[in-house]
Amino acid sequence: MTSPRVTIKDVAARAGVSKGAVSLAFNHKPGLSEATRDRIFRAARDLGWAPDPAARTLAGSRVDVVGLAVCRPARLLGLEPFYMEFVSGVESVLTEHSCSLLLRLVRTVEEEAGLLESWWRARRIGGAILVDFRADDPRVEPVRRLRIPAVAVGHPSLTGSLTSVWTDDASAVGEAVRYLAALGHRRIARVGGAAALGHTAIRTAAFDEAARTLGLAGARQVATDFSGDAGARATRSLLTAPPGDRPTAVVYDNDIMAVAGLAVAAEMGLRVPADVSLLAWDDSQLCRLTRPTLSAMSHDVHGFGAEVARTLFGVIGGEGGGSRPVATPVLVPRGSTAPPG
């Protein structure tokens, strides 16, 4: 469609504007009236001109696409309030920069490593956000080698030399267990997330550590896939133990599993919190909408996503380092936790 003889200068002349104005219009930046924008697009259409994306990116101080690959099954992603709030926080900052998010679901982190390399080499993205780190994560090396501006969402023990932003899960798990123990609970269970994820492993180790420190012999943990169904099954299995062996408090790795736990307790005729205390994680608005309301480890997931995006623009702009924990979850007690009955 583009004729090689037509240049941005021709378009500017035909529209009666400067080259800078044409550039503003095609880069979707503010500062032009609707009428001027229309005139520029009409002139470009008449002349059969379109900007060369490669040239633009090479010229490019400006990053207008950031990549995010997520390695979770599509169905589970749709059910997880965390991700949507995280993405909405990222988007809130990208929008300020007229930047879009290139989103892709992948089946393995190895596939993601290849995808990031393709995106970067094809100049599709100006930077990337990496999430859900594993031990010995295969994305660290290529991102470092290709010098892709990136922010890793994960603990530095998992993210190597990449700039990373994380929530201090170990401290938060410790706080949760100490609080329940202070209420008098000795048999405390944790319904954890996907075992392959680095942050799940960190929480699992922190739970063991806290239980050992406090001498809680009845502590136990179950792994799930983060879904409400898996959370319900895990809760049912924990609560069917004989009364003297049954946990009196359960900590969940997300909100939806805690909501499911509340339903299972009701189904089994157990009162919350008199018979069993439940503690959610993330504190999306769900926790305030149940009866009883759910006590939760609370953090601002939307703000966390925004902070990750801001850090990425810092990395793209050449600011070094900046790795830091943000938004460490804090305990918000509500109606689902109490001393054991």
Position among 5, 33, 75, 269 found at the interface with its own copies (CB under 8 A): 75
Least distance from C-beta 151 to its own copies, angstroms? 18
Say how far apart CA 302 and CA 289 lie, in whole Å.
Answer: 19
Tell the smallest beta-carbon distance from residue 82 to its own copies (Å): 9
Distance CA 248, CA 256 (A): 20
- Interface mask (CB under 8 A) for its own copies, residues 34-63, using x and -? x--x---x--x-----xxxxx-x-------
Whole-number Å distance between alpha carbons of 72 and 119:
20
Binding residue for its own copies (CB under 8 A) from 201, 260, 294, 327?
260
Omega before 292 cis (within 30°)? yes
Nearest in space to 154 (alpha carbons), one of 177, 137, 142, 178: 137
Stretch that binds its own copies, among 90-98, 172-180, 191-199, 319-327 (CB under 8 A): 90-98
293: left (phi over 0), alpha (psi -120 to 50) or beta: beta
Least distance CB 63 / its own copies (angstroms): 13
Q: How far apart are CA 169 and CA 171, in angstroms?
A: 6
Q: Which amino acid is at 91?
A: E
Residue type, 8: I
**Options 17, 26, 224, 226; binder of its own copies; rule CB under 8 A:** 26
What CA–CA distance (Å, rounded) separates 55 from 36? 24
CA distance 255 to 27: 40
Please report whether residue 94 would count as binding its own copies according to CB under 8 A: yes
Q: Binding of its own copies at residue 3 (CB under 8 A)?
A: no
**Three-state secondary-structure class, residue 190:** strand
Please report whether residue 314 would count as binding its own copies according to CB under 8 A: no
Q: Considering the rule CB under 8 A, would residue 28 count as an interface residue with its own copies?
A: yes
| Min CB(158)–its own copies separation in Å | 22
83 forms part of the interface with its own copies (CB under 8 A): yes
Which of 159, 167, 284, 336: binder of its own copies (CB under 8 A)? 284
Binding of its own copies by 335 (CB under 8 A): no
Residues 106-125 that bind its own copies (CB under 8 A): 106-107, 110, 114-115, 117-119, 121-124
Cβ-based burial of 135 (10 A; exposed 0-12, middle 13-18, buried ≥19)? exposed
Q: Among 19, 46, 105, 205, which residue sits at the site for its own copies (rule: CB under 8 A)?
A: 105
Q: How far is the CB of 141 from its own copies (least distance, A)?
A: 12
